[in-house]
Amino acid sequence: MKIIQTLLMLLALSGTAFAETQNIQINQNNFELKTVMNEDEADFLRKDIELYRNNQKLLTHTIYSTTGDCSILQIELGDYEVKDNKIIFYSYWASGDRQGLWTYPYGVRKQTYTVDAKGKVKLVSAVLYVEDILGDPLSTNPDEEYLQFLHTAPKTKQQQRALNEYIQTMQSDYKGRFVHGQERARLIQEVKSKLAKQIATETKGWKEQFGTNVRM
């Protein structure tokens, strides 16, 4: 699996240098944005952008990562934009599994940082919606145990507790505030719009390959 993942990553990065540097200006402060290759905790390659000021790394954002084999695929896509005194990072996750077990994670996130007159970068907002699994999908049914309550209101205290525990875990794991209702709909629409080209390219043929066993 790891060899296939590495080949997919190298193909995705063909024509792109393994270390690029772009100069950007936010609120009249100069920054460097470096595109680099890093490894995650499982030693899988990913493509990140790193924000620097005065040779000091301030933050890292993943813009491309994929894992999987011939039956399972999981991707993370990202991008950024500068607006006035803000730099905004967008993230998108999608998964497909022919057997229907590992169709996780699926979701979006938007992180907003401000830059003050002295160049200090501060996270002011991080909102997310993520469908992911807690535990082993072979021994649990996430749709029945907690994911259904993201779309249908819990009817019992036990169901509410399961939903609350799920949301707390997602907020901790994905570093943001979990959103619902219209706020969720607007967030999904915004992130998918910002990453539309990347999503279309990276998930092309997924529905034919995975059928209904896909979250995207």
Please state, in angstroms and rounded to a whole number, the distance separating the CA atoms of residues 133 and 120. 36
The predicted pLDDT at position 121 comes to 98
The predicted pLDDT at position 36 comes to 94
Residue 89 domain-assigned (yes or no): yes
Residue 122 domain-assigned (yes or no): yes
Residue 167 domain-assigned (yes or no): no
Q: Global pTM?
A: 0.88
The predicted pLDDT at position 18 comes to 52
Residue 191 domain-assigned (yes or no): yes
Range of the domain at 33: 2-132+177-215
Tally of CB atoms within 10 A around 139: 6
**What contacts 63, CB < 8 A, 6 or more positions away?**
35, 47, 48, 49, 77, 78, 79
Domain count across the chain: 1
Residue 195 domain-assigned (yes or no): yes
Mean pLDDT by 10 residues, the chain (216 residues): 44 50 95 90 84 96 88 93 97 92 91 97 98 83 88 94 96 97 97 98 92 90
Residue 169 domain-assigned (yes or no): no
Distances (CA, A) of 45 to 29, 75, 93, 102: 31, 12, 16, 20
Alpha carbon dihedral 51, 38, 214, 163, in 10-degree steps, equals -70
